[in-house]
Amino acid sequence: MPASVLNTPSGTVLIIGASRGLGHAMAAEFLGKGWNVIGTVREGGRTKLHDLADAFEGRLEIETVDICEPDQVTALRDRLSGRVLDMVFVNAGVSNNPAETIADVTTDEFVRVMITNALSPMRVLESLAPFVPAAGLIGVMSSGQGSISNNETGQREVYRGSKAALNMFMRSFAARHAATSRAMALMAPGWVRTELGGPDGRLSIEESVPSLVNVLLARKGSQGLHYVDYLGRTVPW
């Protein structure tokens, strides 16, 4: 990654789903680069994000939202009204039993994964896009498993389908906003050892997130939608 990326002017990034895992690590990385961060958690007790807020007093705001609840998304938009968000990135998502096929999955479980991974992230972006300036970036955490071209082994069928749907919805969003100069990104973080990714992931958080954040910073100012991995390589649709 060019050294100039590390000197990118700071701003404010909103990370949806920052209480743990990749989202929490992204918040820490942006703070370390001088950015101000708004991170969201779902309702509940204290999280690792609260500890991070204590360490970066005044530079990390914590908001509460469940993206699967449209009323809560609307309330978040209203609370942020008038703010300028240089970057909005939706990290929130879920997995399911990786061995479950389309033949096996219940309707309720299929709906849960699709709503959380495909519909709800786009509702957030639709709601908050007006707060992102022309030089800003709108992004969402996808997955290399959302690539139809790369699916030669099957497995993780429901999760793959949810991320492929997310990619399609994001392409439609980009087509509707083709006149904007804002950058848009679908990020594939690699298979990372997190609670969602599981213990067998090929990458540690430290191997994925710092580079992923640098890729996002490098994409700012690059018009249009890019589907890339944590090293900045294009992922085939």
Is the alpha carbon torsion for 209, 204, 58, 90 positive or negative? positive
In the prediction, which pLDDT does 159 show? 95
pLDDT at 3 over 50: no
DSSP-derived 3-state class of residue 228: strand
pLDDT at 2 over 60: no
Model pLDDT for residues 81-140, shown as the tens digit of each residue: 999 999 999 999 999 998 999 999 999 999 999 999 999 999 999 999 999 999 999 999
* Mean pLDDT confidence for 155-169: 96
pLDDT at 4 over 50: no
pLDDT at 74 over 70: yes
In the prediction, which pLDDT does 76 show? 98
In the prediction, which pLDDT does 8 show? 53
Least Cα distance to 166 among 188, 197, 196, 137 occurs for 188
CB 146 within 8 A of CB 189: no
Model pLDDT for residues 167-210, shown as the tens digit of each residue: 999 999 999 999 999 999 999 998 787 766 666 667 899 999 99
Which two three-digit tokens encode residue 64? 């509460």
The Cα–Cα gap between 203 and 5 comes to 22
The Cα–Cα gap between 81 and 137 comes to 18
pLDDT at 5 over 50: no
In the prediction, which pLDDT does 196 show? 65
pLDDT at 157 over 80: yes
In the prediction, which pLDDT does 6 show? 45
Model pLDDT for residues 18-52, shown as the tens digit of each residue: 999 999 999 999 999 999 999 999 987 899 999 99
The Cα–Cα gap between 123 and 234 comes to 25
Which two three-digit tokens encode residue 141? 């955490």
